[in-house]
Amino acid sequence: MHFADALVRSIKAKESALCVGLDPQLGKVPKFLVERVIREHGETMEAAAEAFIAFNKGIIDAVKDLVPAVKPQLAYYEEFGHQGIRAFEETCAYAKQQGLLVIADGKRNDIGSTAEAYARAFFEPNLFGKFQETSVDALTVNGYLGFDGINPFLKACGKDKGIFVLVRTSNPSSGDIQDRITADEAMSMAELMGHFVESWGSDLEGEEGYSSVGAVVGATHPVQAERLRAILPKNFFLVPGYGTQGGTAEDVAACFNNDGLGALIVQARGIIYAFAEEGGLANGENFAEAARNATLKMKEDVNRVR
Amino acid sequence: MHFADALVRSIKAKESALCVGLDPQLGKVPKFLVERVIREHGETMEAAAEAFIAFNKGIIDAVKDLVPAVKPQLAYYEEFGHQGIRAFEETCAYAKQQGLLVIADGKRNDIGSTAEAYARAFFEPNLFGKFQETSVDALTVNGYLGFDGINPFLKACGKDKGIFVLVRTSNPSSGDIQDRITADEAMSMAELMGHFVESWGSDLEGEEGYSSVGAVVGATHPVQAERLRAILPKNFFLVPGYGTQGGTAEDVAACFNNDGLGALIVQARGIIYAFAEEGGLANGENFAEAARNATLKMKEDVNRVR
């Protein structure tokens, strides 16, 4: 199914516009899991991968009826080399089995011929035609290289995949580049990127009225989110920055259209490590329950403003 | 050793400012290798990984005395999932054993906390403190997120690692964003990024006078390379675009300083697939010899202008 159609229908069915970030860190996942994998595999990369898989499956089971999508952040898997990538693959496969859309957060970018390889890596089977372990539903990408670095991903968007192009990121220094005003267009770089995204995604609308080409717009910039919403009426916003990074439900309200759609609000740390923040058991045995409770709370909070 | 010092000393010792791109593609590597790995491993991801390892080792052996560095492009390894990353790891380890500097071309970018995970992934051992398979000497990064997304890599540059920040890429659409003139500074986005790179790398100079923070500047933009050279006198340029993408020795001349240093000229396809272009044996048995001949030719061509 067309990516944005699948997303809209899942948001409606689950009455939820949330996305849980799956960002496992060995120093933060529950101690009982780490101790178990070390007993079984020693202090190895394989042990780290097994800890991540067990942790992610627990989170996925706890939130799968509450959110349409999950977003594994590639950096946390790459940290553990090829074993980490195996954990990423198993996580994606399990999430898809459980009916979740999977958005790989890789912020990939390169020249056209190399972007084609990234599109194959995340969206298509390899040359032997047999293996799709790494196939995900959508990927975050960085548009600094312009159209020809994005085009290979647009081709995949024509075949039921989606992308979210970085427009206005949630981090404190995002304005270094993204707030610069362009002399010829009299708009910020982020707004210029927004116009590119609108143009790149204009032929890729689904039946529900949304394009499979979306934008990353941080929850920490509500005024700019409102301007970008006007530039990008038919594009989904993937919105990081809620919770730990300081964004509130009121901050993300401007990311939604009047139909209550058009945005997917992300939280990672505040959900997956909720067990540590909320006086959990010492070894984190209650991590899944704590994640579910945090997700329920966030769902209510965000639904209030959309 | 400080990354830029190691680079300068290797360039002087080998009288070569070249970098060979290790971009293996299953449809392009020699047929005899693919047939061999399929006999041994079937049509599996593992077979693809073994073909890449054998191919890369052959290339590395053929060029190791002619170039200071190699640049594996992550996209081509990610295409084959965790097995592809295993091939990346073995390639990096072998190249380092053979005395080559390894520049991972990943164009990574993210918010600070996630950029820290990328810095650990490419530059530091994991939390168990034992494994460094993926440790490389330098990484390409994308600065669209501004300072705090780059800072974790700068910390690694203080510990003998290096980065190359995308400034002006070699692809046809690079001007979409990078040629935009900023209203307040009256310079292009690429030049603005150049100024950031100069500033980020100013405290990271080595004994040879160069910073371990470099810039990616495409060979296809000689006029802009000259302007960027003036903005970045002490920063190395990693220069893709020579050869297959259309850049010539004359085009890259402006990337060098008067000392004949400050640039590393990259070629991938024109070297590693030279066997196919130059009437090689039908199954590519001569791929290493063809790569060596192409590298020798390029070395002479580039040394002529630096």
Residue B133 has pLDDT above 70, yes or no: no
Q: Structurally, how many domains does chain A consist of?
A: 1
Query: DSSP secondary structure string, B116-174?
Result: HHHHHHHHS--TTS---TT--SEEEE-GGG-HHHHHHHHHHHTTT-EEEEEEE-SSGGG
Average pLDDT of span A244-251: 90
pLDDT band at A132 (very low <50, low <70, confident <90, very high): low
pLDDT band at A133 (very low <50, low <70, confident <90, very high): low
CA distance A73 to chain B (A): 8
Contact between B263 and B252 under an 8 Å Cβ cutoff? The reply is: yes
The residues in B 13-72 lying below 8 A from A, measured between CB atoms, are 23, 25-27, 43-45, 47-48
C-alpha closest to that of A292 among A269, A271, A277: A271
**CA distance linking residue A264 with residue B26, whole number of Å:** 37
**CA distance linking residue A276 with residue A294, whole number of Å:** 12
Give the pLDDT of residue B272.
97
What's the whole-number average pLDDT of chain A? Answer: 94
- Supply the ipTM of this predicted assembly: 0.96
Give the pLDDT of residue A244.
82
Out of A45-49, B243-247, B289-293, B298-302, which region has the weakest mean confidence (pLDDT)?
B243-247
For A44, how many CA atoms within 13 A lie in the half-sphere containing its CB?
10
The residues in A 185-244 lying below 8 A from B, measured between CB atoms, are 185-186, 189, 192-193, 196, 240
Chain B contact for A303 (CB, 8 A cutoff): no
Q: A71 or B130: whose pLDDT is higher?
A: A71
What percentage of chain B exceeds 90 in pLDDT? 86
B12, B28, B57, B107: which one is catalytic? B107
Give the pLDDT of residue B132.
57
The residues in B 103-142 lying below 8 A from A, measured between CB atoms, are 105, 107-112, 114-115, 117-118, 120-122, 126-128, 130-131, 133-134, 142
Give the pLDDT of residue A283.
82
Residue B72 has pLDDT above 80, yes or no: yes
Q: Which residues of B touch A75 (CB under 8 A)?
A: 108, 110, 114-115, 117-118, 121
pLDDT band at B134 (very low <50, low <70, confident <90, very high): low
Average pLDDT of span B179-202: 94
Cross-strand partners of A164: A140, A214
Give the pLDDT of residue B226.
94
Active site residue B107: yes
Give the pLDDT of residue A124.
84
Residue A221 has pLDDT above 80, yes or no: yes
The greatest distance separating any two alpha carbons of chain A, rounded to the nearest whole angstrom, comes to: 62
Give the pLDDT of residue A122.
95
Residue A134 has pLDDT above 80, yes or no: no
Q: B259 or A184: whose pLDDT is higher?
A: B259
pLDDT band at A6 (very low <50, low <70, confident <90, very high): very high
Average pLDDT of span A148-171: 95
> Distances from the Cα of A81 to the Cαs of A7, A162, B88, B282, in angstroms?
31, 26, 9, 36
Give the pLDDT of residue A214.
98
Give the pLDDT of residue A28.
93
Q: Which residues of A touch B105 (CB under 8 A)?
A: 110
Average pLDDT of span B101-120: 97
Give the pLDDT of residue A127.
59
Residue A65 belongs to domain with CATH number = 3.20.20.70
Which of B44, B107, B150, B217 is the best mutation test for A, with the most CBs of A within 10 A? B107
Q: Which residues of B touch A184 (CB under 8 A)?
A: 180-181
Print the domain residue range for B45. Answer: 3-303
